Structure 1
Amino acid sequence: MSQLTISHHLGKLVKAGVLERQKRGKCAYFTLNPDFDQNLLANVTLGVAMNVNDTATGTTILFACRQNAGRSQIAAALAKQLAPKGVTILSAGSEPADAVHPVVVEALAELGLQPDSQPKPLDPAQVKTSDWVVTMGCGEACPFFPGVHYQDWKIDDPSDRSLEEVRSIIDQIRIRVQELLDTVSQG
């Protein structure tokens, strides 16, 4: 769908009172209007679930750190490599940097991996729709929503670290990612 089409339909949902729009800078953020009767959505969700395959109803994991330039990028890259089909992996930062740390890019390349994306801001809507949110150094800046599973990993920031130190950080994150994926698959 084109951005124009999506914007048009989001505008209709705002006008109908289903969504609320918050403008921040050049971006608009949409959330469910708290006055909207969510029982109506349950019926829609049930109907949609009957018409899609299982991968659309999978698990979403969001990895967040302060800059989205190191830890969350590493975790997302490893999770995408290790996660089973149907698990969606996202990453974001509470204060995103301009680029992923070069030493992180280099260390991931040694493993045949690449960063998730350019650093991007932590979107409350993504947090709210994720099943699991893993924070690494931005815990208090991450919004809390009931029903979302949260973990806070104490992992050193790879910024300004040597390649050897970043490799060690990657090893720590790999263990935690695998433990998380094991937990998710059991749940």
Structure 2
Amino acid sequence: MMKIAFICIHNSCRSQMAEAWGNKLLSDISEIYSAGTEDYPEVKPLAVAVMSEVGMDTSDQYPKLLKDMPQKLDILITMGCGVECPYVPANYREDWGLDDPSGGPIEDFRITRDSIEEKVMQLRERILNGDFKNKHAN
């Protein structure tokens, strides 16, 4: 199984939503992880709320750090943290460039949630199409 990680700064919103979508949509073909580069006390309550709206209970999730995930990854997805994104060895990496909805209204969280769902579905298709078979570590 492929190992896929979703990374952002605090692992409190976007990467948590991506982990939840990954577990729902990719768990038959990959192991899913998420982490952040800095400590944070909790997953954002609005992130938990909007995931609950689509039937996913993420209330038991908590922010994790890079050291908490495997050090060998097949795919690393950063959420849009720009120059602050860490270097983590992976066979393939890409940045999804998502704005952080933190501090905004719940509608911003819904937009982010739906964008992440779409990107995870596209990632699934790419994996099933074999797009990652010949990627080398970077």
Structure 2 distance, partners of 1:181, 1:110, is 23
Quote the offset at 1:124 in angstroms. 8.5
SS of the residue 1:91 aligns to: strand
- In the alignment of these two chains, the number of paired residues is 128
Question: Where do 5+ consecutive residues of structure 2 fail to align?
Answer: 131-138
Structure showing greater Rg: 1
Q: Pick from 136, 140, 143: which aligns with 2:87?
A: 143
* 2:18 matches 1:75: yes
The one-letter code matched in structure 1 to 2:11 is N
SS of the residue 2:125 aligns to: helix
Structure 2 distance, partners of 1:125, 1:117, is 14
The one-letter code matched in structure 2 to 1:131 is D
Match of 1:119 in 2: 63
Deviations 1:151-171 (A, max 9, x none): 101101121121111111111
Contact 1:69 1:96 in 2 (8 A): no
Quote the offset at 1:129 in angstroms. 1.1
The one-letter code matched in structure 1 to 2:66 is L
The one-letter code matched in structure 1 to 2:43 is V
With CA pairs under 8 Å and 6+ residues apart, which has the higher RCO, 1 or 2? 2
Deviations 1:21-52 (A, max 9, x none): xxxxxxxxxxxxxxxxxxxxxxxxxxxxxxxx
Contact 1:124 1:143 in 2 (8 A): no
Two-structure CA RMSD over aligned residues (Å): 1.9
* 2:89 matches 1:89: no
Quote the offset at 1:175 in angstroms. 1.0
TM-score using structure 1 length: 0.63
